[in-house]
Amino acid sequence: MKPTITTLFLLIISTMTLTAQSGIDDFFRSTGKIYTVLGVVVILFLVLIIYLIRLEKKISKIEKQINDE
């Protein structure tokens, strides 16, 4: 279906699992776990932006087609 999104999903999951050592853990748990909130916002942002970039690419392909005609 959507290769980029699926690969992104796998990528994020695998990197998160790899980096899930105690140092990172402590970081995300510090100051009342505020960095977890930050992480969640960043993930949300990234997913939306990547989807928009995909759309953007598709549209620019069409624009090229129009210019060629």
Partner 1 sequence: MDIKRNWWKVLSVILMLYVIIAGILIPIKPGIIDYDNASAETGSPYEVTVKTYNTHFDKAQGLRTYLLLPNNELLVADSSEVINAAEVKASFNIPRRVLRGESESMDLSLVIDNEIDGYMQFPEAVRIRPSTTDTFNRAYQASALMPLSSLRDVDDFKFPFRPIVYETIRNTFFHVAIWMAMFIILIVSCYHSIRYLMTNKLVHDQKSSALTSVALVFGIAGLLTGSMWARFTWGTWWTNDVKLNMTSIALLIYCSYWILRSSISDIDTRARLSSVFNLFSFVALFILVMVIPRLTDSLHPGNGGNPAFGDEDLDNTLRTIFYPAIIAYTLIGLWIAQLTVRYHSAKDNIELLIYNKSN
Footprint of partner 1 (CB under 8 A): 1-2, 5, 9, 12-13, 16-17, 20, 25, 28-29, 31-34, 36-37, 39-41, 43-44, 47-48, 51-52, 55, 58-59, 62, 65-66, 69
Residue pair 4/54 in contact (Cβ under 8 Å)? The answer is yes
Q: Please, are residues 5 and 50 in contact by the beta-carbon 8 Å criterion?
A: yes
* Nearest distance, CB of residue 25 and partner 1, angstroms: 8
Distances (CA, A) of 52 to 45, 47, 69: 11, 9, 26
Least distance (Å) between residue 69 CB and partner 1: 7
